[in-house]
Structure 1
Amino acid sequence: MCPRTKEQNDALREKRKLQIIRAAADMLLERGLAIEIRDVALKAGLGYGTVYHYYKNKHELLDDLLWHAFGAAQEAVEAELSPGMNRSSATKDKLERYCIRLLRLWLQDPSVFFLYKSVAENGISIPGGGRMPHQLAERFDAELYQPLAEAIHHLRQHNPAKDADHEAHYVLGALIGCAGLHIHRHQMEMDVEGTVNLLLAAFQQKEGA
């Protein structure tokens, strides 16, 4: 058998890290921060030594998990909430597509759901590092939360920005609640589009009034 190329080794490394991160997120959602590297290894179906090769402790793992989740969430924002189309009909479609994409992302990658759930609960305690890293909290607000609030502000043009901010909290909170019920009950399927349509119905009704 031919030895793997550097590109193949890099791809395997990223695959293993993602496997570990998603297993750790599952464990964090189940048990909170009372987990150890051995727990994550068991959940991921990997040997303890394999996981330890990538992460020497859960502090390193949690830090990598949060930044991975931020990057995945950032891609969703850039794909669906990019500026330039502020007409109400276009903004409404963008908001719906974004919520659907975000909910599906949470169901696919529990680390992203863990990030949003942690922020909604006013931050997360990092082992050995206090609260959620300041830089990550600031970037979450500027790059993930504010684009949603701005989209709602454009949709509800006659409402002040502070109301859009309140409604963005409502939308995220409702999505987190729906996703949490599904994730913790381990259901096989979820009507993502139907769920989002119900949550955004209030905005559509007011816009058409």
Structure 2
Amino acid sequence: MSPRTKEQNDEIRERRKLQIIETAELLFIRNGMSLDIRDVAQAAQLGYGTVYHYYNNKHLLIHDIMESGFSAAEETAKQLNAPQSPLSLLHTYLRCLPDSWTKSRAAFAIYKKASENFSMFEPDIQHVYNNRFEEFIYMPVVVLIQKAISLQELSDKLDPHRTANTLLGALIGAYSIYSGHDNQRFDANFTADVLIKGILEV
């Protein structure tokens, strides 16, 4: 049997690292900073030494999860700049957001931990994450609501910040309930329809 090429070894390493990350993402959503390397190894069905080879402490692993999550969440938020009416765009965004969370558990971790004010992190890191979430993920939603109000698509009785918090908070909460049940599919369209109908009736 011929030895593996460098390219084959690199591909195996990348697959294994992805396996570790994807397993850790789920555990991080559930356990936060209580994430343990041994639990990741067990859940990924890998040896502890194998996981330790890639991540010799949980903080490096959590850092990679957060960076991956922010990148995915920020990419999704770019949809809010599409040439579409603000209300229609908001509706589309609320429908698409859960799909982006299904594709990237790390992205969902960002929203989940943002709803908790990133309180599990040290103050300096918490500050950085809060600012990054507000600038690139939260404020685009607020601005979109402001535009919808200015165009009279939404009532001027609505406070943009309070509305954004309510919409995102409700979506995170609803998705959290379903994410723990593999046999139940989250209905993003239904949830988005209910949320939009709610703010239209204000």
1:123: how far off?
Answer: 1.5
Number of equivalences: 197
Determine if the alignment matches structure 1 residue 123 to structure 2 residue 118. yes
Query: Residues 129-187 of structure 1, C-alpha deviation per residue, up to 9 Å, x if partnerless?
Result: 45644323211110011001111111122667981111000011000111010012333
Partners of 2:172 and 2:102 in 1: CA distance: 11
* Contact 2:69 2:107 (C-alpha < 8 Å) held by counterparts: yes
SS in 1 for 2:60: helix
Give the match for residue 173 of structure 2.
177
* Contact 1:125 1:131 (C-alpha < 8 Å) held by counterparts: no
Partners of 2:194 and 2:156 in 1: CA distance: 24
Query: 1:53 is matched by which residue type in structure 2?
Result: H
Question: Normalising to structure 2: TM-score of the pair?
Answer: 0.84
What does 1:53-132 align with in structure 2 at a 5 Å threshold? 53-78=53-78, 80-82=79-81, 85=83, 90-126=85-121, 129-130=122-123, 132=125
Determine if the alignment matches structure 1 residue 3 to structure 2 residue 5. yes
SS in 2 for 1:134: helix
* Pair 185,5 (structure 1): closer, same or farther in 2 beyond 3 Å: closer
Question: Normalising to structure 1: TM-score of the pair?
Answer: 0.82
Please provide the CA RMSD for this pair. Answer: 2.6
1:77: how far off?
Answer: 0.9
Query: 2:111 is matched by which residue type in structure 1?
Result: Y
* Pair 14,160 (structure 1): closer, same or farther in 2 beyond 3 Å: farther
Partners of 2:126 and 2:133 in 1: CA distance: 11
1:60: how far off?
Answer: 0.9
Partners of 1:188 and 1:21 in 2: CA distance: 24
SS in 1 for 2:120: coil
Give the match for residue 38 of structure 1.
38
Unaligned residue ranges in structure 2 (runs of 5+)? none
* Pair 195,142 (structure 1): closer, same or farther in 2 beyond 3 Å: same
1:197: how far off?
Answer: 1.1
Unaligned residue ranges in structure 1 (runs of 5+)? none
Identity in percent: 31
